[in-house]
A = this chain, B = another copy of it.
Amino acid sequence: MVEKVLATGVGAAKAARGSSIIYRKWVRGTGGLISGDLVEVIDRNGSEIACGLWEENTPVAVRIIHWGRCLERSPEEALERALEAAYKARVRSKWAVDFDSYRLVNSDGDRLSGLIADVYKDVAVVQSSSPAIDRHISYISQAIRKFTGVTHVYEKSVQRSRLDIGLEPRRRWLMGRRKEVVIEEGQARFYVDVETGQKTGFFLDQRVNRLELARVAGPGDSVLDVFSYTGGFGIHALLSGASKAVFIEEDVHAVKLLRKNLRLNGVQENRVLVLNTSIWKAIQAGEPRESFNIVTVDPPAFIQKPGEEAKKRGFRAYKSSYLFALERAAGNSIVYLSSCSYFLSREEFITLVTEVASALEKEYRILGDVRGASPDHVYRGEEYLSYLKGAFIHIDPSVT
């Protein structure tokens, strides 16, 4: 049965404008509902505005699944339709056709607010930050199997947003069990460790940019891959013919997987140097000393929260790492700089990049438009889903 929920002025307007959530302060008369119930949002005239899932004990009351009245008669039916639409979008855009791994569900971007799901070949990783999604997570896993054909599903609901609303962290296999999975991306293959890796195990968002680096790299290039994680950028460059690569990564687990990825891709050991250290220690030590034809910097989000203080500190960290990269860029080289901080706007990113390059007095060019996340990272204008910024930069030949 579908319960009706009355949205007041602002809530009704938000729902009508296509928002993905309605806050509790904007709904009335909701006794007896529990998290995950299917509800129909109506306005004061009784018109059906949207259909969604109810959520208890959090600031969000309804996670909207689609506009208009509920065509479905159960939350399972509604979730299945939404998951099917998410899958079809990836098939239609060929992302799930051209690649064996992709983001299947991008939260609000897919009208599945509170849910992230990444597919790595035959393994799916799900992340819930909502009690409504929590209730249906087993059903969601089954539906994901049905559409994508995965045989393993791992739940990794450990985001801070989850803890903030009092939900316990959850890490567990919902279907099957698999330590690692190998995925393909262009010429490269990568081990993904869904249990211990960052986020869901891999950074699918940067795929378009890794493939762009693979296009640009070639024989004779020497590569510096800073914040290399498990080696995505550097390995692509090596497979495009680059003669050598230096990787800088602090995390021991990541370095272990990076070494496995190098072997997996048949990269000879003498072409590679892996520095298992932080960039800050590398800066202090003034290492590496040589310059490179290709430098990539894909740092963690240095600005983690709003406010001037956090921003100032984050700016400093970005500046230092971008400077580190640009100082090591030879003449006629390509540098890729990136930021995944939601709190650093696109304009601020460009300003930062131009400031750092200007400080070095290097003549440079930003090669085309600022680049963001891959097509599977869908959104509908929600700013927080448009966090990734990247710039490919050419350093002038005359630089010494």
Residues of A that sit less than 8 Å from B by CB: 17-18, 66-68, 81, 84-85, 88-89, 92-94, 98, 109-111, 208, 215-216, 218, 332-334, 346, 350-351, 353-354, 357-358, 361, 363-381, 386, 388, 392, 394, 396-398
Selected from B85, B94, B398, the residue in CB contact (under 8 A) with A85 is B398
Query: What residue in chain B is nearest A350 (Cβ atoms)?
Result: B381
Selected from B333, B350, B361, B397, the residue in CB contact (under 8 A) with A84 is B397
User: By the criterion CB–CB under 8 Å, are B93 and A392 in contact?
Assistant: yes
User: By the criterion CB–CB under 8 Å, are A376 and B368 in contact?
Assistant: yes
User: By the criterion CB–CB under 8 Å, are B397 and A85 in contact?
Assistant: yes
Given known contacts A92-B332, A334-B93, A366 and B378 CB-to-CB distance under 8 angstroms: yes
- What are 30 A-B pairs at a CB distance below 8 A? A17-B358, A18-B354, A18-B358, A66-B363, A67-B363, A81-B398, A84-B397, A85-B396, A88-B397, A92-B333, A92-B394, A93-B216, A93-B334, A93-B394, A94-B215, A98-B215, A109-B366, A110-B365, A346-B346, A353-B381, A354-B380, A366-B380, A366-B381, A367-B376, A367-B378, A368-B373, A368-B375, A368-B376, A369-B388, A375-B392
Given contacts A94-B218, A366-B380, A369-B371, 6 further A-B contacts (CB under 8 A): A67-B363, A89-B394, A93-B216, A93-B334, A109-B365, A375-B392
Query: What residue in chain B is nearest A68 (Cβ atoms)?
Result: B361
Given known contacts A368-B378, A378-B367, A380-B366, A67 and B392 CB-to-CB distance under 8 angstroms: no
Query: What residue in chain B is nearest A333 (Cβ atoms)?
Result: B92
Q: Which residues of B contact A386 (CB under 8 A)?
A: 369-370
User: By the criterion CB–CB under 8 Å, are B369 and A332 in contact?
Assistant: no
Copies per assembly: 2
For the complex of A and B, the 5 pairs showing the least CB-CB separation, nearest first, are: A369-B372, A365-B378, A367-B375, A368-B375, A354-B381
Interface centre among A98, A368, A374, A388 (most CB of B within 10 A): A368
Q: Which residues of B contact A369 (CB under 8 A)?
A: 371-373, 377, 386, 388
Q: How far is the CA of A334 from the CA of B378 in the complex (A)?
A: 13
User: By the criterion CB–CB under 8 Å, are A361 and B392 in contact?
Assistant: no
Q: Which residues of B contact A394 (CB under 8 A)?
A: 89, 92-93, 378
Query: What residue in chain B is nearest A386 (Cβ atoms)?
Result: B369
Q: Which residues of B contact A398 (CB under 8 A)?
A: 81, 85
User: By the criterion CB–CB under 8 Å, are B367 and A89 in contact?
Assistant: yes
How many whole Å from A98's CB to the nearest CB in chain B? 7
Q: How far is the CA of A397 from the CA of B392 in the complex (A)?
A: 36
Q: How far is the CA of A318 from the CA of B38 in the complex (A)?
A: 38
Q: How far is the CA of A397 from the CA of B80 in the complex (A)?
A: 13
Q: How far is the CA of A58 from the CA of B17 in the complex (A)?
A: 49
Query: What residue in chain B is nearest A374 (Cβ atoms)?
Result: B368
User: By the criterion CB–CB under 8 Å, are B367 and A93 in contact?
Assistant: yes
Q: Which residues of B contact A381 (CB under 8 A)?
A: 350-351, 353-354, 366
Q: How far is the CA of A353 from the CA of B381 in the complex (A)?
A: 9
User: By the criterion CB–CB under 8 Å, are B361 and A368 in contact?
Assistant: no
Q: Which residues of B contact A378 (CB under 8 A)?
A: 365-368, 394
Q: Which residues of B contact A396 (CB under 8 A)?
A: 85, 88-89
How many whole Å from A345's CB to the nearest CB in chain B? 10
How many whole Å from A223's CB to the nearest CB in chain B? 14
Q: How far is the CA of A217 from the CA of B20 in the complex (A)?
A: 30
Q: How far is the CA of A373 from the CA of B369 in the complex (A)?
A: 5
Q: Which residues of B contact A375 (CB under 8 A)?
A: 367-368, 392
Q: How far is the CA of A358 from the CA of B64 in the complex (A)?
A: 14
Selected from B17, B208, B361, B379, the residue in CB contact (under 8 A) with A67 is B361
Q: Which residues of B contact A365 (CB under 8 A)?
A: 89, 109-110, 378-380
